[in-house]
Structure 1
Amino acid sequence: MTECSATQNKILEIGKKEFLAKGFRGASLRGIVKEAGFTQGAFYGYYPDKAALFEALVSEPADGLMEQFKAAQQAHFELIPEDKAAQSRELSTDYLNHFINFIYDNFDAFKLVICCSEGTKYSSYIHDLVEIEVTQTELYYERLRQLGKLEGTVSRELHHMITSAYFTAVFETVAHDMTREHAIQYVNELATFFNCGWEGMLRLK
Protein backbone atom coordinates (compact mmCIF):
# COMPACT_ATOMS: atom_id res chain seq x y z
CA MET A 1 0.00 0.00 0.00
CA THR A 2 1.44 3.36 -0.99
CA GLU A 3 1.31 6.45 1.20
CA CYS A 4 -1.26 7.90 -1.17
CA SER A 5 -3.64 4.93 -0.93
CA ALA A 6 -3.17 4.81 2.86
CA THR A 7 -4.18 8.47 3.08
CA GLN A 8 -7.24 7.89 0.93
CA ASN A 9 -8.26 4.84 2.93
CA LYS A 10 -8.00 6.84 6.15
CA ILE A 11 -10.24 9.56 4.71
CA LEU A 12 -12.77 6.93 3.62
CA GLU A 13 -12.78 5.19 6.99
CA ILE A 14 -13.22 8.38 9.00
CA GLY A 15 -15.79 9.68 6.50
CA LYS A 16 -17.80 6.48 6.84
CA LYS A 17 -17.73 6.77 10.63
CA GLU A 18 -18.89 10.40 10.47
CA PHE A 19 -21.69 9.69 7.98
CA LEU A 20 -22.94 6.69 9.96
CA ALA A 21 -23.03 8.73 13.15
CA LYS A 22 -24.53 11.96 11.79
CA GLY A 23 -25.95 11.26 8.34
CA PHE A 24 -24.80 13.06 5.20
CA ARG A 25 -26.43 16.38 6.10
CA GLY A 26 -25.09 16.42 9.65
CA ALA A 27 -21.60 15.22 8.82
CA SER A 28 -18.87 17.85 9.00
CA LEU A 29 -16.23 17.89 6.31
CA ARG A 30 -14.06 19.98 8.61
CA GLY A 31 -14.50 17.36 11.33
CA ILE A 32 -13.58 14.52 8.97
CA VAL A 33 -10.42 16.30 7.85
CA LYS A 34 -9.46 17.22 11.42
CA GLU A 35 -9.89 13.66 12.72
CA ALA A 36 -7.94 12.28 9.78
CA GLY A 37 -5.10 14.65 10.65
CA PHE A 38 -4.93 16.19 7.18
CA THR A 39 -5.43 19.63 5.75
CA GLN A 40 -8.53 20.39 3.68
CA GLY A 41 -6.17 20.81 0.76
CA ALA A 42 -5.06 17.22 1.17
CA PHE A 43 -8.70 16.11 1.23
CA TYR A 44 -9.50 18.02 -1.96
CA GLY A 45 -6.68 16.15 -3.65
CA TYR A 46 -8.94 13.10 -3.47
CA TYR A 47 -12.52 14.35 -3.39
CA PRO A 48 -13.96 17.69 -4.55
CA ASP A 49 -16.61 17.79 -1.80
CA LYS A 50 -18.48 15.87 0.88
CA ALA A 51 -20.93 14.40 -1.66
CA ALA A 52 -18.06 12.86 -3.65
CA LEU A 53 -16.72 11.23 -0.50
CA PHE A 54 -20.13 9.77 0.31
CA GLU A 55 -20.50 8.50 -3.26
CA ALA A 56 -17.05 6.88 -3.08
CA LEU A 57 -18.24 4.93 -0.04
CA VAL A 58 -21.52 3.66 -1.51
CA SER A 59 -21.52 3.83 -5.30
CA GLU A 60 -19.96 0.49 -6.17
CA PRO A 61 -22.26 -1.74 -4.08
CA ALA A 62 -25.36 0.45 -4.48
CA ASP A 63 -25.01 0.76 -8.25
CA GLY A 64 -24.02 -2.91 -8.44
CA LEU A 65 -27.21 -4.02 -6.73
CA MET A 66 -29.24 -1.78 -9.02
CA GLU A 67 -27.70 -3.43 -12.11
CA GLN A 68 -28.25 -6.91 -10.67
CA PHE A 69 -31.85 -5.98 -9.98
CA LYS A 70 -32.38 -4.85 -13.57
CA ALA A 71 -30.91 -8.14 -14.83
CA ALA A 72 -33.30 -10.04 -12.53
CA GLN A 73 -36.22 -8.23 -14.10
CA GLN A 74 -35.14 -9.39 -17.54
CA ALA A 75 -34.80 -12.97 -16.30
CA HIS A 76 -38.54 -13.08 -15.68
CA PHE A 77 -39.27 -12.26 -19.31
CA GLU A 78 -37.06 -15.19 -20.31
CA LEU A 79 -39.49 -17.55 -18.55
CA ILE A 80 -42.29 -16.73 -20.99
CA PRO A 81 -40.99 -18.46 -24.17
CA GLU A 82 -40.20 -21.55 -22.07
CA ASP A 83 -43.77 -21.55 -20.68
CA LYS A 84 -42.37 -21.32 -17.14
CA ALA A 85 -44.09 -18.12 -16.05
CA ALA A 86 -45.67 -20.02 -13.15
CA GLN A 87 -42.18 -20.18 -11.65
CA SER A 88 -41.84 -16.40 -11.49
CA ARG A 89 -42.54 -16.15 -7.75
CA GLU A 90 -39.95 -18.84 -7.02
CA LEU A 91 -37.45 -17.00 -9.21
CA SER A 92 -38.17 -13.74 -7.39
CA THR A 93 -37.49 -15.39 -4.04
CA ASP A 94 -34.23 -16.88 -5.33
CA TYR A 95 -33.07 -13.44 -6.44
CA LEU A 96 -34.20 -11.94 -3.14
CA ASN A 97 -31.92 -14.32 -1.25
CA HIS A 98 -29.04 -13.42 -3.56
CA PHE A 99 -29.71 -9.71 -3.04
CA ILE A 100 -29.91 -9.93 0.74
CA ASN A 101 -26.57 -11.73 0.85
CA PHE A 102 -25.04 -9.09 -1.42
CA ILE A 103 -26.41 -6.38 0.87
CA TYR A 104 -24.89 -8.06 3.90
CA ASP A 105 -21.58 -8.49 2.11
CA ASN A 106 -21.60 -4.67 1.81
CA PHE A 107 -23.56 -3.83 4.94
CA ASP A 108 -21.99 -0.49 5.87
CA ALA A 109 -22.49 0.90 2.37
CA PHE A 110 -26.18 -0.01 2.41
CA LYS A 111 -26.55 1.33 5.95
CA LEU A 112 -25.31 4.64 4.58
CA VAL A 113 -27.70 4.50 1.62
CA ILE A 114 -30.79 3.51 3.59
CA CYS A 115 -30.26 5.50 6.79
CA CYS A 116 -27.80 8.32 6.10
CA SER A 117 -28.19 9.50 2.49
CA GLU A 118 -30.65 12.39 2.82
CA GLY A 119 -29.20 15.20 0.71
CA THR A 120 -27.45 12.89 -1.77
CA LYS A 121 -28.59 11.30 -5.02
CA TYR A 122 -29.01 8.04 -3.14
CA SER A 123 -31.80 9.38 -0.92
CA SER A 124 -34.37 8.03 -3.41
CA TYR A 125 -32.70 4.61 -3.72
CA ILE A 126 -35.65 2.51 -2.53
CA HIS A 127 -38.07 4.61 -4.58
CA ASP A 128 -35.91 4.10 -7.68
CA LEU A 129 -35.95 0.33 -7.18
CA VAL A 130 -39.73 0.43 -6.75
CA GLU A 131 -40.17 2.39 -9.98
CA ILE A 132 -38.09 -0.13 -11.93
CA GLU A 133 -39.98 -3.04 -10.38
CA VAL A 134 -43.43 -1.61 -11.09
CA THR A 135 -42.64 -0.54 -14.66
CA GLN A 136 -41.02 -3.83 -15.67
CA THR A 137 -43.53 -6.01 -13.86
CA GLU A 138 -46.46 -4.27 -15.49
CA LEU A 139 -44.92 -4.99 -18.90
CA TYR A 140 -44.42 -8.60 -17.81
CA TYR A 141 -48.02 -8.93 -16.63
CA GLU A 142 -49.32 -7.43 -19.85
CA ARG A 143 -47.33 -9.96 -21.88
CA LEU A 144 -48.79 -12.79 -19.80
CA ARG A 145 -52.28 -11.36 -20.10
CA GLN A 146 -51.99 -11.28 -23.90
CA LEU A 147 -51.04 -14.97 -23.79
CA GLY A 148 -54.00 -15.81 -21.58
CA LYS A 149 -51.73 -16.67 -18.65
CA LEU A 150 -53.08 -14.07 -16.25
CA GLU A 151 -56.69 -13.66 -15.13
CA GLY A 152 -56.57 -10.95 -12.48
CA THR A 153 -55.72 -7.27 -12.63
CA VAL A 154 -54.25 -4.70 -10.26
CA SER A 155 -54.21 -0.93 -10.66
CA ARG A 156 -50.84 0.76 -11.05
CA GLU A 157 -51.57 2.81 -7.94
CA LEU A 158 -52.13 -0.29 -5.80
CA HIS A 159 -49.21 -2.07 -7.48
CA HIS A 160 -46.91 0.81 -6.58
CA MET A 161 -48.13 0.98 -2.98
CA ILE A 162 -47.71 -2.76 -2.38
CA THR A 163 -44.27 -2.81 -4.00
CA SER A 164 -43.15 0.21 -2.00
CA ALA A 165 -44.27 -1.49 1.22
CA TYR A 166 -42.43 -4.67 0.23
CA PHE A 167 -39.12 -2.98 -0.62
CA THR A 168 -39.25 -0.80 2.48
CA ALA A 169 -39.84 -3.92 4.56
CA VAL A 170 -36.90 -5.73 2.93
CA PHE A 171 -34.51 -2.88 3.77
CA GLU A 172 -35.73 -2.84 7.36
CA THR A 173 -33.13 -5.58 7.78
CA VAL A 174 -30.45 -2.92 7.36
CA ALA A 175 -32.25 -0.16 9.25
CA HIS A 176 -32.62 -2.44 12.29
CA ASP A 177 -29.16 -4.02 12.09
CA MET A 178 -30.47 -7.58 11.84
CA THR A 179 -27.92 -10.36 11.67
CA ARG A 180 -27.51 -11.97 8.27
CA GLU A 181 -29.21 -15.16 9.48
CA HIS A 182 -32.16 -13.26 10.92
CA ALA A 183 -32.45 -11.15 7.77
CA ILE A 184 -32.56 -14.20 5.48
CA GLN A 185 -35.30 -15.81 7.56
CA TYR A 186 -37.22 -12.54 7.71
CA VAL A 187 -37.14 -11.78 3.98
CA ASN A 188 -38.20 -15.31 3.06
CA GLU A 189 -41.20 -15.06 5.39
CA LEU A 190 -41.91 -11.65 3.89
CA ALA A 191 -41.75 -13.06 0.36
CA THR A 192 -44.16 -15.86 1.26
CA PHE A 193 -46.65 -13.35 2.65
CA PHE A 194 -46.51 -10.99 -0.35
CA ASN A 195 -46.45 -13.81 -2.93
CA CYS A 196 -49.67 -15.25 -1.53
CA GLY A 197 -51.29 -11.85 -1.90
CA TRP A 198 -50.13 -11.43 -5.49
CA GLU A 199 -51.32 -14.92 -6.42
CA GLY A 200 -54.73 -14.16 -4.95
CA MET A 201 -55.10 -11.00 -7.01
CA LEU A 202 -53.46 -11.98 -10.29
CA ARG A 203 -54.34 -15.70 -10.60
CA LEU A 204 -51.42 -16.76 -12.76
CA LYS A 205 -52.18 -19.83 -14.91
Structure 2
Amino acid sequence: MTKYTETQRKILEVGKEEFLAKGFKDASLRGIVKAAGFTQGAFYGYYPDKAALFDALVSEAADTLMEQFKAAQRAHYDLITEEKTAQSQELSTDYLNYFINYIYDNFDAFKLVICCSEGTRYSNYVHELVELEVSQTEKYYQQLRQLGKVEGVVNHDLHHMITSAYFTAVFETVVHDMSREQAIGYVNELAVFFNCGWSGLLRLK
Protein backbone atom coordinates (compact mmCIF):
# COMPACT_ATOMS: atom_id res chain seq x y z
CA MET A 1 0.00 0.00 0.00
CA THR A 2 1.35 3.42 -0.97
CA LYS A 3 2.39 5.64 1.92
CA TYR A 4 1.70 9.36 1.61
CA THR A 5 2.91 12.34 3.58
CA GLU A 6 0.26 14.52 5.20
CA THR A 7 0.89 17.17 2.55
CA GLN A 8 0.48 14.68 -0.28
CA ARG A 9 -2.65 13.20 1.29
CA LYS A 10 -4.20 16.67 1.54
CA ILE A 11 -3.36 17.44 -2.10
CA LEU A 12 -4.95 14.17 -3.20
CA GLU A 13 -8.06 14.77 -1.09
CA VAL A 14 -8.60 18.31 -2.35
CA GLY A 15 -7.71 17.33 -5.91
CA LYS A 16 -10.29 14.56 -5.89
CA GLU A 17 -12.97 16.96 -4.68
CA GLU A 18 -12.03 19.49 -7.34
CA PHE A 19 -12.04 16.92 -10.16
CA LEU A 20 -15.34 15.40 -9.03
CA ALA A 21 -16.96 18.82 -8.87
CA LYS A 22 -15.60 20.30 -12.10
CA GLY A 23 -14.05 17.52 -14.18
CA PHE A 24 -10.41 17.41 -15.18
CA LYS A 25 -10.59 20.05 -17.92
CA ASP A 26 -12.24 22.71 -15.76
CA ALA A 27 -10.42 21.91 -12.54
CA SER A 28 -8.00 24.61 -11.47
CA LEU A 29 -4.54 23.73 -10.24
CA ARG A 30 -4.41 27.10 -8.53
CA GLY A 31 -7.74 26.32 -6.85
CA ILE A 32 -6.52 22.92 -5.69
CA VAL A 33 -3.36 24.37 -4.19
CA LYS A 34 -5.27 27.20 -2.49
CA ALA A 35 -7.91 24.86 -1.03
CA ALA A 36 -5.18 22.53 0.21
CA GLY A 37 -3.49 25.45 1.92
CA PHE A 38 -0.12 24.97 0.26
CA THR A 39 2.03 26.83 -2.22
CA GLN A 40 2.34 25.72 -5.85
CA GLY A 41 5.94 24.92 -5.06
CA ALA A 42 4.77 22.39 -2.46
CA PHE A 43 2.45 20.86 -5.04
CA TYR A 44 5.20 20.55 -7.64
CA GLY A 45 7.27 18.70 -5.08
CA TYR A 46 4.84 15.82 -5.57
CA TYR A 47 3.26 16.20 -9.01
CA PRO A 48 4.49 17.98 -12.15
CA ASP A 49 0.95 19.00 -13.23
CA LYS A 50 -2.72 18.34 -12.62
CA ALA A 51 -2.67 15.42 -15.10
CA ALA A 52 -0.19 13.63 -12.85
CA LEU A 53 -2.43 14.32 -9.87
CA PHE A 54 -5.45 12.89 -11.67
CA ASP A 55 -3.40 9.87 -12.67
CA ALA A 56 -2.36 9.32 -9.06
CA LEU A 57 -6.02 9.26 -8.04
CA VAL A 58 -7.24 6.76 -10.64
CA SER A 59 -4.38 4.79 -12.19
CA GLU A 60 -4.11 1.94 -9.69
CA ALA A 61 -7.84 1.15 -9.75
CA ALA A 62 -8.36 1.68 -13.48
CA ASP A 63 -5.25 -0.19 -14.58
CA THR A 64 -5.95 -3.08 -12.21
CA LEU A 65 -9.49 -3.50 -13.55
CA MET A 66 -8.13 -3.53 -17.10
CA GLU A 67 -5.64 -6.28 -16.19
CA GLN A 68 -8.33 -8.26 -14.39
CA PHE A 69 -10.50 -7.95 -17.46
CA LYS A 70 -7.71 -9.36 -19.62
CA ALA A 71 -7.35 -12.26 -17.18
CA ALA A 72 -11.08 -12.94 -17.51
CA GLN A 73 -10.69 -13.13 -21.27
CA ARG A 74 -7.90 -15.69 -20.89
CA ALA A 75 -10.08 -17.73 -18.53
CA HIS A 76 -12.64 -18.15 -21.30
CA TYR A 77 -10.03 -19.71 -23.56
CA ASP A 78 -9.27 -22.20 -20.78
CA LEU A 79 -12.86 -23.41 -21.10
CA ILE A 80 -12.07 -24.62 -24.62
CA THR A 81 -9.18 -26.83 -23.55
CA GLU A 82 -11.18 -28.08 -20.57
CA GLU A 83 -14.23 -28.74 -22.81
CA LYS A 84 -16.42 -26.56 -20.60
CA THR A 85 -17.51 -23.95 -23.16
CA ALA A 86 -21.14 -24.40 -22.13
CA GLN A 87 -20.16 -22.54 -18.95
CA SER A 88 -18.99 -19.45 -20.87
CA GLN A 89 -21.95 -17.21 -20.03
CA GLU A 90 -21.95 -18.35 -16.42
CA LEU A 91 -18.26 -17.48 -16.18
CA SER A 92 -18.91 -14.07 -17.73
CA THR A 93 -21.58 -13.34 -15.12
CA ASP A 94 -19.29 -14.46 -12.30
CA TYR A 95 -16.59 -12.09 -13.51
CA LEU A 96 -19.13 -9.32 -13.94
CA ASN A 97 -20.04 -9.59 -10.26
CA TYR A 98 -16.37 -9.54 -9.34
CA PHE A 99 -15.81 -6.46 -11.49
CA ILE A 100 -18.79 -4.53 -10.14
CA ASN A 101 -17.66 -5.17 -6.57
CA TYR A 102 -14.13 -4.03 -7.45
CA ILE A 103 -15.57 -0.88 -9.02
CA TYR A 104 -17.55 -0.16 -5.85
CA ASP A 105 -14.52 -0.86 -3.67
CA ASN A 106 -12.86 1.98 -5.64
CA PHE A 107 -15.95 4.02 -6.42
CA ASP A 108 -14.44 7.53 -6.39
CA ALA A 109 -11.64 6.50 -8.75
CA PHE A 110 -14.13 5.09 -11.26
CA LYS A 111 -16.42 8.08 -10.85
CA LEU A 112 -13.45 10.21 -11.92
CA VAL A 113 -12.63 7.92 -14.86
CA ILE A 114 -16.20 7.63 -16.16
CA CYS A 115 -17.50 11.13 -15.48
CA CYS A 116 -14.56 13.50 -15.09
CA SER A 117 -11.66 12.30 -17.26
CA GLU A 118 -12.06 14.32 -20.46
CA GLY A 119 -8.61 15.62 -21.36
CA THR A 120 -6.76 12.73 -19.70
CA ARG A 121 -5.46 9.38 -20.93
CA TYR A 122 -8.53 7.79 -19.34
CA SER A 123 -11.09 9.64 -21.45
CA ASN A 124 -11.45 6.59 -23.73
CA TYR A 125 -11.35 4.02 -20.94
CA VAL A 126 -14.75 2.45 -21.64
CA HIS A 127 -14.03 2.42 -25.38
CA GLU A 128 -10.75 0.57 -24.71
CA LEU A 129 -12.64 -2.05 -22.69
CA VAL A 130 -15.15 -2.42 -25.52
CA GLU A 131 -12.42 -2.81 -28.14
CA LEU A 132 -10.67 -5.44 -26.03
CA GLU A 133 -13.91 -7.33 -25.43
CA VAL A 134 -14.89 -7.32 -29.10
CA SER A 135 -11.44 -8.39 -30.28
CA GLN A 136 -11.05 -11.25 -27.81
CA THR A 137 -14.65 -12.44 -28.03
CA GLU A 138 -14.56 -12.63 -31.81
CA LYS A 139 -11.46 -14.83 -31.61
CA TYR A 140 -13.10 -16.95 -28.93
CA TYR A 141 -16.30 -17.53 -30.90
CA GLN A 142 -14.30 -18.20 -34.05
CA GLN A 143 -12.64 -21.10 -32.23
CA LEU A 144 -16.01 -22.34 -30.98
CA ARG A 145 -17.38 -22.15 -34.52
CA GLN A 146 -14.52 -24.33 -35.75
CA LEU A 147 -15.45 -26.84 -33.05
CA GLY A 148 -19.07 -26.80 -34.16
CA LYS A 149 -20.33 -25.16 -30.97
CA VAL A 150 -21.59 -21.94 -32.60
CA GLU A 151 -23.88 -21.75 -35.63
CA GLY A 152 -24.62 -18.02 -35.88
CA VAL A 153 -22.40 -15.21 -37.16
CA VAL A 154 -22.52 -11.66 -35.84
CA ASN A 155 -21.28 -8.78 -37.99
CA HIS A 156 -18.33 -6.92 -36.46
CA ASP A 157 -20.12 -3.57 -36.42
CA LEU A 158 -23.17 -5.07 -34.72
CA HIS A 159 -20.90 -6.83 -32.23
CA HIS A 160 -19.25 -3.52 -31.39
CA MET A 161 -22.61 -1.76 -30.99
CA ILE A 162 -23.98 -4.43 -28.65
CA THR A 163 -20.80 -4.53 -26.57
CA SER A 164 -20.66 -0.74 -26.34
CA ALA A 165 -24.29 -0.66 -25.17
CA TYR A 166 -23.49 -3.32 -22.56
CA PHE A 167 -20.46 -1.56 -21.08
CA THR A 168 -22.19 1.81 -21.13
CA ALA A 169 -25.10 0.29 -19.25
CA VAL A 170 -22.85 -1.34 -16.66
CA PHE A 171 -21.08 1.94 -15.92
CA GLU A 172 -24.40 3.76 -15.63
CA THR A 173 -24.37 2.42 -12.08
CA VAL A 174 -21.44 4.75 -11.40
CA VAL A 175 -22.84 7.67 -13.39
CA HIS A 176 -26.07 7.57 -11.38
CA ASP A 177 -24.42 6.91 -7.99
CA MET A 178 -26.35 3.70 -7.37
CA SER A 179 -25.72 1.85 -4.15
CA ARG A 180 -23.61 -1.30 -4.37
CA GLU A 181 -26.70 -3.43 -3.74
CA GLN A 182 -28.65 -1.69 -6.49
CA ALA A 183 -25.73 -1.99 -8.89
CA ILE A 184 -25.27 -5.72 -8.32
CA GLY A 185 -28.97 -6.38 -8.92
CA TYR A 186 -28.99 -4.14 -11.96
CA VAL A 187 -25.98 -5.67 -13.72
CA ASN A 188 -27.13 -9.23 -13.06
CA GLU A 189 -30.46 -8.50 -14.74
CA LEU A 190 -28.51 -6.83 -17.51
CA ALA A 191 -26.39 -9.98 -17.90
CA VAL A 192 -29.52 -12.12 -18.29
CA PHE A 193 -30.83 -9.79 -20.97
CA PHE A 194 -27.60 -9.71 -23.00
CA ASN A 195 -26.87 -13.42 -22.55
CA CYS A 196 -30.28 -14.26 -24.00
CA GLY A 197 -29.59 -11.94 -26.92
CA TRP A 198 -26.18 -13.45 -27.64
CA SER A 199 -27.58 -16.97 -27.40
CA GLY A 200 -30.24 -16.08 -29.96
CA LEU A 201 -27.79 -14.49 -32.36
CA LEU A 202 -24.98 -17.01 -32.07
CA ARG A 203 -27.12 -20.12 -31.59
CA LEU A 204 -24.74 -21.61 -29.08
CA LYS A 205 -24.66 -25.40 -28.65
TM over 0.5: yes
Counterpart of 1:150, as a letter, is: V
**Partner residue in 1 for 2:185:** 185
**Partner residue in 2 for 1:111:** 111
Identity %: 79
d(CA) in 1 for partners of 2:35, 2:83 = 59
Give the TM-score, by structure 1 length: 0.98
* 2:5 is the alignment partner of 1:5: yes
**Partner residue in 2 for 1:202:** 202
**Partner residue in 1 for 2:169:** 169
**Partner residue in 2 for 1:64:** 64
d(CA) in 2 for partners of 1:161, 1:35 = 43
Counterpart of 1:46, as a letter, is: Y
d(CA) in 2 for partners of 1:194, 1:149 = 19
TM-align CA RMSD:
0.6
Structure 1 unpaired stretches of 5+: none
Alignment partner of 2:81: what SS? coil
**Partner residue in 2 for 1:88:** 88
**Partner residue in 2 for 1:144:** 144
Counterpart of 1:163, as a letter, is: T
**Partner residue in 2 for 1:122:** 122
d(CA) in 2 for partners of 1:193, 1:89 = 12
d(CA) in 2 for partners of 1:131, 1:62 = 16
Counterpart of 2:167, as a letter, is: F
d(CA) in 2 for partners of 1:49, 1:14 = 15
**Number of residue pairs the alignment of both structures matches:** 202
Once the 2 structures are TM-superposed, how far is the Cα of residue 129 of structure 1 from its aligned partner?
0.1
* 2:160 is the alignment partner of 1:160: yes
Alignment of 1:27-38 (within 5 A): 27-38=27-38
